[in-house]
């Protein structure tokens, strides 16, 4: 977004704020959340069976469902997809009724390079478009990035960042390629004479493409587009069969809006900022509340969820919630117990580790039961879970993702997290869980994965350094630890 565009947008946001606030200041939000009020919500699907988007559980029975511009059914709605939901919001503000659900994947194509796998996710590319995978990316028909060698047909749902890279929320492995390759992004490096532009690293030729929703003046840099092509790129150039200019954001709507995505084009000074999220213009003011952060944390390429009212196409933020949590805990373990209310469960015995969940927690069943509709209510004692989480306190975490799996071989539990102050040869303590190591039988590794001795390992452990340990949990401790590794 260039400087003149930012300035023009921000001045427009200020005008909207002045008109919306009037003399009453915060009164512009007085009617938010009236029972049955209209709402448009764009964000990650964290649960199905109805669908939960941006913390609101929408009843989807009878709703119109579109999947990539094709009529769909409720069973097409899957955890990790990004959905645009139109409907009504109940007075409790955590439930509603959907009248329309639209799923529009970011990419359809084939993997063109071997995935780069890291401790926290990794990357791969689809015809040159970089896809970023993190701890909370959901995989369909696959376990992880290793299942996506070059040539694999994929559908990718997620949020684009300011450079055109896609931060994947769900990657679906397909048995056969889609009839058309699909790319979404922002027009850059437009050459109207040659009929070319770029989407991220991809060069697009639209000379023979069907032109959909083009402005009267034609294409221009900065427009959001969806490109379809019946053939993959050749020599780095994609010959488009159609190019559609998309409005982005929440569409032509008014009333309450919720949107999740990546901040782009931030301008202004606190408390009055203007920016966009997935093409939706957003403005903040002195009445904006911040959750899991403050106004000073607002920056380009930060993932946020915005709630507010839409005035003249601008979403005036009543709340900004920062969605990027530091994932410093990974758990593979059996459930010891769960609370009677849908909030928390316990792993690693009693008192064990308390795992809190909320409406933002992603639930997925990859066990042999393969439940499509799976949530906290379906978790039972002794179930094996893989958990991604952020540490809250000594023995408590908040889960961002909970995946049920079948029991691993040898019932091998894994715990990764910050080392407790009690850690010292031969015991590793993480979140209060004791792991007993053996000098001769435990495999010790440094942060590069190279073997080290037990003495060297413990000489390099310090309080709060991330450590991973694995082995059988006996009910009191992991004894013995079969592997222990230091993390950066």
Residue 261 maps to a domain: no
- The lowest-confidence range among 36-40, 286-290, 335-339, 359-363 is 36-40
**Residue found by looking up tokens 């080290």 in the block:** 452
Residue 425 maps to a domain: yes
pLDDT per residue as tens digits for the range 389-429: 999 988 899 999 999 999 998 899 999 999 999 999 999 99
Burial class (CB in 10 A: 0-12, 13-18, 19+), 323: buried
The CATH number for 170's domain is: 2.40.50
DSSP 296-357: GG--TT-EEEEEEEEETTEEEEEEEEE------EEEEEEEEEE-SSTTEEEESSSS-EEEE-
Residue 318 maps to a domain: no
Instruction: Name the domain count of the chain.
Output: 5
Residue 3 maps to a domain: no
State percent of the chain over pLDDT 70: 92
| pLDDT at residue 34, as a whole number | 39
Burial class (CB in 10 A: 0-12, 13-18, 19+), 368: exposed
Measured distance CA(425)–CA(428) in Å, rounded: 8
153 or 250: which leads in pLDDT: 153
For 485, list phi and psi in degrees, rounded to 5. -135, 140
| pLDDT at residue 12, as a whole number | 54
State percent of the chain over pLDDT 90: 78
164 and 197: one domain? no
Rg over alpha carbons for the chain, rounded to the nearest Å, is 24
398 and 347: one domain? yes
Among 193, 223, 246, identify where a domain stops.
Answer: 246
332 and 393: one domain? yes
214 and 154: one domain? no
pLDDT per residue as tens digits for the range 318-363: 999 999 888 999 999 999 999 877 789 999 999 999 999 998 999 9
Residue 128 maps to a domain: yes
Among 386, 407, 428, identify where a domain stops.
Answer: 407
Residue 17 maps to a domain: no
Residue 52: give the domain boundaries.
31-104
| pLDDT at residue 23, as a whole number | 35
197 and 237: one domain? yes
The CATH number for 341's domain is: 2.40.50.320
Among 174, 190, 221, identify where a domain stops.
Answer: 174
Residue 303 maps to a domain: no
Whether the ω angle into residue 351 lies within 30 degrees of 0, i.e. cis, is yes
- Cross-strand pairs, 47: 52
The CATH number for 235's domain is: 2.40.50.140
Nearest to 84 by CA among 41, 36, 137, 48: 41
């Amino acid at each position: 977004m260039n400087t003149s565009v930012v300035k023009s947008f921000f001045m427009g946001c200020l005008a909207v704020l002045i008109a919306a606030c009037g003399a009453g200041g915060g009164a512009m939000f007085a009617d938010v959340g009236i029972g049955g009020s209209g709402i448009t919500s764009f964000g990650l699907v964290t649960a199905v069976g109805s669908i939960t988007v941006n913390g609101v559980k929408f009843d989807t029975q009878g709703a119109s469902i579109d999947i990539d511009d094709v009529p769909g059914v409720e069973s097409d709605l899957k955890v990790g997809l990004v959905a645009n939901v139109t409907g009504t919001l109940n007075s409790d503000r955590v439930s509603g009724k959907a009248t329309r659900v639209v799923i529009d994947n970011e990419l359809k194509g084939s993997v063109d390079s071997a995935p780069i796998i890291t401790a926290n996710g990794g990357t791969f590319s689809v015809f040159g478009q970089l896809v970023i995978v993190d701890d909370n990316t959901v995989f369909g028909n696959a376990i992880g990035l290793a299942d996506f060698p070059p040539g694999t047909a994929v559908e990718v749902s997620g949020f684009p960042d300011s450079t055109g890279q896609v931060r994947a929320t769900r990657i679906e492995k397909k048995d056969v390629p889609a009839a058309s390759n699909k790319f979404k992004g922002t027009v850059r490096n437009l050459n109207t004479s040659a009929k070319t532009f770029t989407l991220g690293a991809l060069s697009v030729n639209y000379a023979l493409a069907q032109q959909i929703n083009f402005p009267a003046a034609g294409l221009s840099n900065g427009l959001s587009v969806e490109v379809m092509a019946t053939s993959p790129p050749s020599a780095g150039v994609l010959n488009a069969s159609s190019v559609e200019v998309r409005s982005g954001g929440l569409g032509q709507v008014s009333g309450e809006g919720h949107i999740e995505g990546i901040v782009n084009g931030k301008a202004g000074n606190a408390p009055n900022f203007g920016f966009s999220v997935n093409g939706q213009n957003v403005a903040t003011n002195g009445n904006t509340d911040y959750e899991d952060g403050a106004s000073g944390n607002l920056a380009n390429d930060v993932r946020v969820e915005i709630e507010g009212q839409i005035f003249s196409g601008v979403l005036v933020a009543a709340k900004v919630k920062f969605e990027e949590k530091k994932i410093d805990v990974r758990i593979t373990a059996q459930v010891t117990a769960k609370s009677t209310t849908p909030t928390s469960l316990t792993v690693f015995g009693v008192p064990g580790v308390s795992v809190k969940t909320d409406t933002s927690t992603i639930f997925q069943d990859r066990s042999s039961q393969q439940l499509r509709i799976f949530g906290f209510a379906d978790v039972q004692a002794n179930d094996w879970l893989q958990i991604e989480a952020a540490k809250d306190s000594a023995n408590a975490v908040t889960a961002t993702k909970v995946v049920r799996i079948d029991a691993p071989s040898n019932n091998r539990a894994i715990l990764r997290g910050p080392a407790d102050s009690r850690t010292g040869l031969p015991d590793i303590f993480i979140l209060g869980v004791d792991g007993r190591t053996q000098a001769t039988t435990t495999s010790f590794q440094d942060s590069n994965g190279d073997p080290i001795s037990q003495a060297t390992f413990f000489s390099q452990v310090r309080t709060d350094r991330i450590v991973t340990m694995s082995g059988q949990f006996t009910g009191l401790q992991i004894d013995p630890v079969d592997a222990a590794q230091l993390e950066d």
